[in-house]
Structure 1
Amino acid sequence: MPPEAPAEFSRPLALGRVGPEGRTETLEATAAECAALARRLGIPAVDALRATLRLTQDPDGAVRAEGRLQAAVTQDCVVTLDPVPQRVDEVFALRFLPAGREPADGPDDLDEIATADDIADLGDAVAEQLALALDPYPRAPGAELPAEARDAASGAFAALAALSRKA
């Protein structure tokens, strides 16, 4: 297997460096990291990315990260393809697991990230949170679907509804 490509925004931290008192980490992406993140996310630009994380030890050996990420990004409008500048301001929480532990998948569980050799990549976790926070359907101000597209969509759904009523 080829070696894994390095993360575009990597900030490794050994879980053991989070003492009983916890620690706060502030991460800020460089211009080169922002450009690499934009390519990874398939958007025109990440102009700025900053995150502050409060890290605390959980009794089971995991490290809880509660943070806030702020970013300035540009996405393409889904209607016009014009650039749409946006601000992202998200609060998140997750857990970094000691090596060898599998993440839980319960609906009420925090997102859990497995680590290799008890090293958490805080930057990559923030990049993943940014990906989740992006608007899936960005629209430029005033952008609307053409009438033909709206009619075609409603027509298709109307046809499906008619078929289901016949069944």
Structure 2
Amino acid sequence: MTDDTSSPEFSRFFDIRQAEGQIVRIEANNDECAGLAARFDLVQVNNLVAEVSLTRVEHKVEVRGTLIADFVQACAVSAEDLDVHVAEPLEFCFVQEERTYKPDEEIELEAHELDEIPYDGSRFDLGEAVAQSLALAIDPFLTGPEADAARIAVGLGTPQDHGPFAALKNLK
């Protein structure tokens, strides 16, 4: 992951005043795909596309649509390259940032607030929200067909040999 001081790799700003009723398609270019691959520790991002509808209600913009991505990810065990296709529904809201709490104050979030992304001023970054949605869709423990062979080669065995029920196998 990159530090928070750098600019987003996939940034698409929209003005809230032009957000009402828009159908938007955003697509990452080659440089943006390379930046996202580095940020999310992927071998390669081949494509990232989001098609969404924007609905404005006062200072809130509701986003609904689909994220489609193809990328190459290393197996968590064998490090072999695995092709991954992701098609995820997107549903979140951009809300005007409110500072009604102190910086170090602990706050409680309601369920409907979990998918709210604050923005400042009159613009919101749809591209960064899509990039974060991609991050959530990546399986951090993805394993490929060579994973069991790699485990055995280094003496780890299979997950079934060391799982929570492994000791019960010997009680037959």
Instruction: After TM superposition, give the deviation of residue 61 of structure 1 in Å.
Output: 2.4
Provide the alpha-carbon RMSD of the alignment.
2.7
User: Which residue is equivalent to 1:129?
Assistant: 133
The one-character-per-residue Cα deviations of 1:61-113 (angstroms, maximum 9, x if unpaired) are 21000020100011110110011110010002000012436798223545000
Instruction: Choose the corresponding residue for 2:60, options 62, 67, 79.
Output: 62
Change (3 A) 1:48 1:99: same
TM-score (ref. length: structure 1): 0.80
Distance 2:61 2:132 in 1: 17
Change (3 A) 1:154 1:28: closer
Distance 1:66 1:9 in 2: 19
User: Which residue is equivalent to 1:30?
Assistant: 29
Distance 1:92 1:101 in 2: 26
Structure 1 residue ranges without an equivalent (≥5): 159-167
Distance 1:34 1:129 in 2: 14
Instruction: After TM superposition, give the deviation of residue 138 of structure 1 in Å.
Output: 1.2
User: Which residue is equivalent to 1:161?
Assistant: none
- Give the fraction of aligned pairs with identical amino acids, expressed as a percent: 32
TM-score (ref. length: structure 2): 0.78
Instruction: After TM superposition, give the deviation of residue 6 of structure 1 in Å.
Output: 1.2
- Number of residues of Structure 1 aligned to a counterpart in Structure 2: 153
What aligned pairs does 1:1-167 form with structure 2 within 5 A after superposition?
4-19=5-20, 22-58=21-57, 61-100=59-98, 105-109=109-113, 111-144=115-148, 145-146=151-152, 148-150=156-158, 153-154=162-163
